[in-house]
Chain A
Amino acid sequence: MLKLLHSALKVARYELQDSVRSRRFAVVLCLYLIGAMLACNGMISMLHHFEQHIARSVGLSASAAPGDVLRALWDSESFRDTIAKMTRNKEAFEEIKQLPLIAIFFGWLAFTFTPVFVILTSPSRIAEELATGSARFALVRTSRAAWCLGKFFGQCLEVAIALLLSAIGTWVVARFRVPHMTSAITMAPMIILGWKVWLCSIGFVGMSLGLSQLTRSPNLAIVFAFLTWSAMKIISMAAWFTDEEGLTRIWHVLDLMTPMGHIADLWRSQITFVLPAVCYVVALGLSYLAVGYAFFARKNV
């Protein structure tokens, strides 16, 4: 077991090195980073515009910086009740509300788009090596299990880099646009949320690499991953719009079998919600990987 893990770590190190060097990663990372920064900037502009409109409507002087009016709105009981009804969980909303707006925005952005980033970069990693035959050089030197596990670790680290960079990018944009933003107070929850998003992305990395083991075509692997992610989204929406009663309970059960079904708990700050959710998403990632491996272990390379 130790030998397997030792080999997997060597594969992971090289996987990260090779993956980061690939053109696909560079392009997707740039898009992700630019997208995060532009979205943050857009959100702040929209917010400011919205605040000025409100201020004009109620005959107040327009706020100098974005966030002033919204903070007041955020603190109003009636507004909180409305949002809590929308989120269907007042307790969860009260916890999330404690976070700075920029951190909430970053969390939403990362939870929404990190799976897309994973789907665009990870599914090709094994399929591509099987297609070119380069997997053979490694597979005569290490076991298939260690190789797949190493690829998985490497891809998880790659996502961590992307998340870290996008967090920094978002924070820098916010720092310039919102002058009164308290840097440390905003940065800490962003780091915690980034960490949670990363844990959640493990589920998607497992899914992507599980699918990557099924085919020799990198493009087909990406298509498989995209379709699976879409199916997960549909399940998640079906679970959101249905009650946990009768036959519709099936959507909630299926939702728990996807990483998306645990995102709500990952938003929480209480460990009793976060820890089971983390265990679930990590277990799901490893399970998806294992399902792909069950096929790959018997496959001709």
Chain B
Amino acid sequence: MSDSALTFDNVVKKFGGRTALDEFNLEVPKGVVFGLVGSNGAGKTTSMAVATSLLRANSGSVNVLGLGQYDPLLHSGRVSLMPQDSNFPRYARVRDLLMYYATLQGQSAKHAQDNIAQVIDLVHLSDRVDSQIRTLSHGMRRRVVIAQAFLGNPELVLLDEPMSGLDPKEVMNIRRLLHKRQEGQTIVVSSHNLFELERVCTHVAFIEDGKLVKQDTMSTITGQHHVLNYLIEAGANASLPGLRELMPDTSFTIPGDGSVLTCSYAEAGHTTAEVNSIVLNHLLGRGVRILEVRRGAELETAYMQQT
């Protein structure tokens, strides 16, 4: 039994002369929230469409839930997709549409009714469930698109830019939804909003020009277990030689305007608490004013460094 929910193996996808995925490799472990980060046209949307066989790859293979290439009759109900720029039929009613999708993925009418009530409640649209799609605002339509992706609690959910077009309250709601996902459920999220991805994802991959640049856990990528950043008053004398003497196996740097002291340590050597205790004592002893202590770098910084 495979431990991967989704695997891309040397996948190539071309649109005419343009290569959207260039020998693309990716492995999404089961039961994680996986973020896909990349610039416009990097291949995030294409990879999701290839994963669900909406786009045919030119070469390479995709393995979905260990069952091989995506086959709707085999994977239906176990995998779902929230496409980025797809619209529902304008005259359809929300309930009818969700009932259609639920029954199409194998749910009985009775079960589908209960399930629709649940997913519609998740996106706070219970009062609009009998409305026609054309009467909903853009944000509401996006919420229906999110709701359909969670019908039947699929094992693998692919969300392409789920936060786009949502108001702040709904963004928070979606974040909460992703946090309290079903046990064992794998969620792949592509987004440009790195701040949101950092908050919801346990794993992340950087994609550029159709290739995988880096893939790891969020904590490793952002250095949450081996980097501490101290925001200090600019111009304060932190005495780096003194710190290096105290912790010779640790790297200390103060880049830029001198307002951030970055401490990189080996995870095996010290715990975060130990390092923090030594550094704070040293800084406070020297009268350095500390404004903030932050674990790891921001995802945005990590992304900019890697790409």
Contacts and interface: CB of A to CB of B under 8 A. Distances in A.
B29 interface: no
Given A4-B73, A141-B76, A134 B86 contact: yes
B210 to A, nearest CB: 15
B55 A301 contact: yes
Interface in A109-148: 129, 132-134, 136-143, 146
B104 A129 contact: no
Contacts of B81: 136-137, 140
A2 B52 CA distance: 23
A110 B100 CA distance: 33
A299 B149 CA distance: 23
Nearest to B87: A132
Interface stretch (B89-97, B116-124, B289-297): B89-97
Q: Determine the interface band of chain A, counting residues with CB < 8 A from chain B.
A: 20 to 34
A158 to B, nearest CB: 15
Contact of A23 (B56, B71, B76, B91): B91
A153 to B, nearest CB: 14
B72 interface: yes
A300 B80 contact: no
Given A136-B54, A136-B81, A300-B55, A141 B91 contact: no
A11 interface: yes
Interface string A22-37: 1100000000000000
B85 interface: yes
B87 A142 contact: no
A11 B73 CA distance: 14
A64 to B, nearest CB: 49
Contacts, number: 76
Contact of A10 (B83, B87, B89, B104): B104
B199 to A, nearest CB: 27
Interface in B61-102: 71-73, 76-77, 79-81, 83, 85-89, 91-92, 96, 100-101
Contacts of B80: 140
Contacts of B52: 140
B60 to A, nearest CB: 16
B89 A134 contact: yes
A300 B15 CA distance: 10
Count class of interface residues, chain B: 20 to 34
A30 B104 CA distance: 32
Contact of B148 (A3, A4, A137): A137
Given A129-B89, A136-B81, A301-B54, A141 B96 contact: no
Contacts of B148: 137
Contacts of A133: 83, 85-87
Interface in A125-178: 129, 132-134, 136-143, 146
A268 B130 CA distance: 49
Contact of B73 (A3, A14, A23, A300): A3
Nearest to A131: B87
Contact of A18 (B55, B87, B92): B92
A134 B72 contact: no
A300 B104 contact: no
Contacts of A132: 86-89
A220 B60 CA distance: 34
A7 B104 contact: yes
Interface centre among A11, A18, A140, A301 (most CB of B within 10 A): A140
A3 B73 CA distance: 8
A242 interface: no
Contacts of B72: 139-143
A208 B34 CA distance: 43
B105 interface: yes
8 contacts: A10-B103, A18-B91, A132-B86, A138-B100, A138-B104, A140-B79, A141-B104, A301-B49
Given A137-B88, A140-B81, A142-B73, 5 more contacts: A21-B91, A132-B89, A133-B85, A142-B72, A301-B49
Interface of A: 3-4, 7, 10-11, 14, 17-18, 21-23, 129, 132-134, 136-143, 146, 298, 300-301
